[in-house]
Amino acid sequence: MLNESPLTEDLASRECLPCKDGTPPIKGAQMLSFTQALGNGWNIINEHHLEREFKFPNFISALAFTNQIGDMAERIGHHPDFELGWGRVKLILFTHKINGLSEADFVFAAKINRLRPVGLVGQ
């Protein structure tokens, strides 16, 4: 598992529920609470999105991880943005409908923390 904190399990067990138009993005104390529950590795950027970069020994391992996340995203209906390069995958999570963070983004990140990607380096 990827740097999982005890509270991550609670987040990871939740469903990624879509939010409605007009739902305000998560900010302030609630955002910090969810971020602490994720553990190390995830960063909040401009109170808008979550980012995390994963390192791999080669391109094929990074691509396999991207596909693993893509399969999960399709199953649960919540889709991250990816940056894929040789030996690295950067994930960017936010809810496009509200142009900011929702609980679903933190739930999805916690689910990613539970994965065991092949070849992950130093995480």
pLDDT tens for 34-84 read 888 887 789 999 989 999 999 999 999 999 999 999 999 999 888 999 999
pLDDT tens-digit readout, 101-121 = 998 899 999 999 888 777 788
Q: At what angle do helices 28-38 and 103-113 cross, to 10 degrees?
A: 10
What is the three-class DSSP state of 44? Answer: strand
> Please, is 76 exposed, middle or buried when counting C-beta atoms within 10 Å of its C-beta (0-12, 13-18, 19+)?
middle
Task: Give the global pTM.
Answer: 0.81
Q: Where are the domains of the chain?
A: 6-13+24-113
User: Tens of pLDDT along 22-44?
Assistant: 678 888 888 888 888 887 789 99
CATH dotted code for 6-13+24-113: 3.30.1360.20
d(CA 120, CA 61): 8
Mean pLDDT of the chain: 84
* Integer Cα distance of 122 and 74 in angstroms: 27
